[in-house]
Amino acid sequence: MLKSSHSQFTQFQIVSCERLARGKSLFKLIDRRGADVRFIEASANIAAYPALNAETRMKYFNHLLQSAQDEFRSINCSSMMDLVDIRIHFDTSLEEPFSVLCDSIVRAEVQVVNHFPGPVNCSEVTVTVKAVKNANDEGKPSKAAGKKSVTEKSIDTKGIEKSALATKDKTLSSDYIPIKEQLHLKQDGSLSSVALVCPSAQQLLGRKVSHGLLPTELSVIKEEYTHKLSVKDVNIVPGVNRLTLQMKADHAGTYVLSQFVACSQRLEFIQSVNCPKVSITVVEVMPSVTFIKTRDDLLAGTDQEVELVVRTGSTAFQNEKTLRLCSSRGLMINLPKTDSLFQRELDFVLPPMAAFETVSHPLKIRADLGFTASKEATFVEHKLSVHCPWLSKTPPLLDLPLNVYAPFTVQYKLHTAYTKKFVNIHVQGLTPSSRAFEFQNPNVLLPDATYKNPALSKLEWRNLNGSSQTLKISQGQPANYLWELCGAPAQYDMPLLKAEFSVDYRLAGTTDWKIFSFNFDIVDYATLFTVRSRVEPVKGNDFLRAGSLCHMTLTVSDVLQQASSAALMYEVLADQALWAVCGRTAGVFSMEGSSKHSVTLDVMPLVCGFLPLPAVRLSRYIPAEQKPKETNRKADLAAATLPRLEPFGAGQVYNWSKAQQVHVLAAPSNNGPTSFDTSTS
């Protein structure tokens, strides 16, 4: 890269000499008419020209200062008071490059070279700043309100270098032209010569019209600006001056440095910023509201403390502001150390706050335990809506998610022992032992309307739990409560029972007991049929042996002793690794006119040892209906004519042989006596 400074310096000499000659020739005429505009310009050129002697320069410098007291004038000071460097202090903590925070103080260090022979007392030295708009957004309304940053990234800078390196690396200047190196080699490969080639020579060496190239006027137009970097009451001495300018970034957006202006009495020295120009992005940090948990996961069913943290960001709150909190359904909030009740809406006042100030407000929350009856739902996402007066959207609400976890889950199960029915409530803890829960006083109740039914008037609960026992529940320590349902009628169609389980609970280490209730429905609580299974060896064998055929007898009994015309279907579900069912594994029969029905099957044990009996499943069999005479019926109506099965409820069929085992001996050996090994497999 080679710098083309010689031609520019020569051109500068020519322009300066012409201006100097014009200034000297006109000075006598101008001096007679008083302090005219042309005289001020000529005096400034002569005073700043370094080739003249000090006495001449000082004379015209004094004429310049005296004439500037009478008439306001703006002149181009590029050859008199030159801005050679500017460095802006950006905020490196922001993600946006070359940016500063809104409402912060922007500081810039400038270097100004004074070519006058004496000091210039300036009332103010400024660098004007203009807002830059995206070309695509011109004519559109501003959308700055309500956003974190209103910077416009797509900026048509038209040659403006958007980089802070402009103050550090002068290689970005247009004074440098691209040069490439070319090596010329001989036939033997040795170096012959080296050439420097400019690939864009035609563009750089294009012919231009010389007419009007030399400026003839020093006056300059002061551009409009929105902000300015400034310093007041500065004395700019001859030579290099280092100044610190500052401004307040009170509006978010992107700005570019425009002009350097030094005001001395009624005279303004103006120069365009060509260092090159640097853009400044002013980022506005909006106020924020967040929740911080004081402990681990928030648990439902107990009072939990959280902190509402308000950060002002780059905006100061000059007056008091009211925040309104609205919680979602199932979540209540309250202020601690107050006598107010938990409620879904809460108001509190924020005091005046400075920019980038943080205030924390403690809150108490209480979430319902209604979702603990589900196995899958171990947590629920609640929402707190904060009414923020600084938001521009309508309504100005900020939704904050709040995950609340279930401390335990509750499940109901109906157990059967022949005709007796037992209600089991299983409580599984989900918290670690350090946050265990304590339970006491369990109870199961039926609504009063249940006992008004004549068939259910004799229902009663038999409590099988300890009355004064307190259980501690956590992840590895569940709890089970058991009641026997007595006095239930023996009939096919049993009415639905709506029961409620309640228990006192508290978080271990606290003193306040709360009541948890769980509603469940009891259905099919009458035993209709019983099933017995028996496996016996065939005639001629005294023992069951592996690989030998055996008889399996199924006996189905009607417990209610009521003649039922319903058809039943049995299914033998055998483990194929232990049993082989010979023949049909399912069949349909009817209990009409009889209270018992027996079926005999052929099975074969495949291994020796104590084997569990094959499982038997009993279902209602609904036969196929007669096909309709119409042949154009829909497919779904035709499917309704197929036979189907309807399973019984968990408490309607009792299997006497469930979990029973039979002893199977090993198959007899052909080479010796039979082994009567009775060890379990």
588 beta partners: 569
**Cβ neighbours of 83 (radius 10 Å):** 25
- pLDDT of 253: 84
- The Cβ-side half-sphere exposure at 345, using a 13 Å CA radius, reads 3
Residue labelled with tokens 């308000």: 310
Span(s) in the chain for CATH 2.60.120:
73-137+144-201+216-285
Q: Give, for 10, the enclosing helix (H) or strand (E).
A: helix 6-33
pLDDT digits (tens, 9 = 90+) for 161-217: 333 333 334 333 445 677 888 888 888 888 888 888 887 766 666 555 454 444 444
> In this structure, are residues 599 and 554 in contact, taking their beta carbons and an 8 Å threshold?
yes
- pLDDT of 536: 93
Could you give the angle at which helices 54-67 and 37-48 cross, rounded to 10 degrees? 150
pLDDT digits (tens, 9 = 90+) for 78-114: 788 888 888 888 887 777 778 888 778 889 999 999 9
Average pLDDT for 520-538: 91
CATH of 529-626+633-664, one of 2.60.40.10, 1.20.1250.20, 1.20.1080.10, 3.20.10.10: 2.60.40.10
Helix or strand or coil: residue 403? strand
Tell the CATH superfamily of the 288-405 domain. ntegrin, alpha v. Chain A, domain 3 (2.60.40.1510)
Whether residue 438 is predicted with pLDDT greater than 50 in this model: the reply is yes
Whether residue 11 is predicted with pLDDT greater than 90 in this model: the reply is no
- pLDDT of 318: 81
Closest among 648, 651, 589 to 617, alpha carbons compared: 648
Strand pairing of 397-405 and 298-299?
A: parallel
Average pLDDT for 382-392: 80
- pLDDT of 251: 81
pLDDT digits (tens, 9 = 90+) for 553-571: 999 998 887 656 678 999 9
Q: Considering only residues 184 and 278, tell me which one the structure prediction assigns the higher pLDDT.
A: 184
309 beta partners: 290, 360
Whether residue 674 is predicted with pLDDT greater than 60 in this model: the reply is no
Q: Which residues of 497-520 are buried (b: 16+ CB within 10 A; e: fewer)?
A: bebebebebbbeeeeeeeebebeb
Q: Give me 482's structure tokens.
A: 């058991």
Cα–Cα distance between 436 and 434 in angstroms, integer?
A: 6
Span(s) in the chain for CATH 2.60.40.1510:
288-405
pTM beyond 0.85, yes or no: no
Average pLDDT for 212-227: 63
Cα–Cα distance between 528 and 558 in angstroms, integer?
A: 6
pLDDT digits (tens, 9 = 90+) for 576-606: 999 999 988 999 998 887 888 999 999 999 9
Return the minimum-mean-pLDDT range out of 229-243, 564-578, 659-673. Answer: 659-673
- Sign of dihedral through CA atoms 371, 375, 377, 378? positive
Q: Give me 424's structure tokens.
A: 């089991």
Whether residue 480 is predicted with pLDDT greater than 80 in this model: the reply is yes
pLDDT digits (tens, 9 = 90+) for 486-495: 988 877 788 8
**What single letter denotes the amino acid at residue 529?**
F
Residue 11's φ and ψ, nearest 5 degrees, are -60, -40
Cα–Cα distance between 64 and 23 in angstroms, integer?
A: 13
Residue labelled with tokens 């150390």: 337
Whether residue 312 is predicted with pLDDT greater than 80 in this model: the reply is yes
- pLDDT of 44: 84
- pLDDT of 245: 92
pLDDT digits (tens, 9 = 90+) for 606-654: 999 999 999 999 999 988 875 554 545 555 555 557 888 999 988 899 9
- Sign of dihedral through CA atoms 585, 588, 593, 595? positive
* Helix, strand, coil percentages for the chain (3-state, nearest 5): 15, 45, 45
Return the minimum-mean-pLDDT range out of 22-31, 251-260, 553-562. Answer: 22-31
Topology adopted by domain 73-137+144-201+216-285: Jelly Rolls (2.60.120)
Residue 633's φ and ψ, nearest 5 degrees, are -75, 155
- Going by C-beta distance under 8 Å and a sequence separation of 6 or more, which residues neighbour residue 489? 455, 456, 526
- pLDDT of 676: 42
Q: Considering only residues 203 and 658, tell me which one the structure prediction assigns the higher pLDDT.
A: 658
Closest among 676, 659, 544, 523 to 604, alpha carbons compared: 544
Q: Where residue 481 falls among pLDDT bands split at 50, 70, 90? A: very high
DSSP characters over 552-600: EEEEEEETT------EEEEEEE--TTTEEEES-SEEEEE-TT-SEEEEE
CATH of 408-522, one of 2.60.40, 1.10.10, 1.10.3470, 3.40.1660: 2.60.40
Cα–Cα distance between 124 and 234 in angstroms, integer?
A: 7
Q: Where residue 681 falls among pLDDT bands split at 50, 70, 90? A: very low
- pLDDT of 442: 92
Q: What is the mean pLDDT of the chain?
A: 78
Give the distance, in angstroms, between the CA of residue 369 and the centroid of all CA atoms in the same chain.
26
Cα–Cα distance between 568 and 589 in angstroms, integer?
A: 5
Q: Considering only residues 676 and 317, tell me which one the structure prediction assigns the higher pLDDT.
A: 317
Give the distance, in angstroms, between the CA of residue 662 and the centroid of all CA atoms in the same chain.
60
Cα–Cα distance between 439 and 505 in angstroms, integer?
A: 5
292 beta partners: 307
Average pLDDT for 213-241: 78
Sheet of strand 331-334: strand arrangement: 288-293, 304-311, 358-367, 331-334
Q: Is 248 exposed, middle or buried (0-12, 13-18, 19+ CB in 10 A)?
A: exposed
- Going by C-beta distance under 8 Å and a sequence separation of 6 or more, which residues neighbour residue 326? 344, 345, 384, 385, 387
Return the minimum-mean-pLDDT range out of 309-313, 520-524, 611-615. Answer: 309-313
- pLDDT of 24: 47
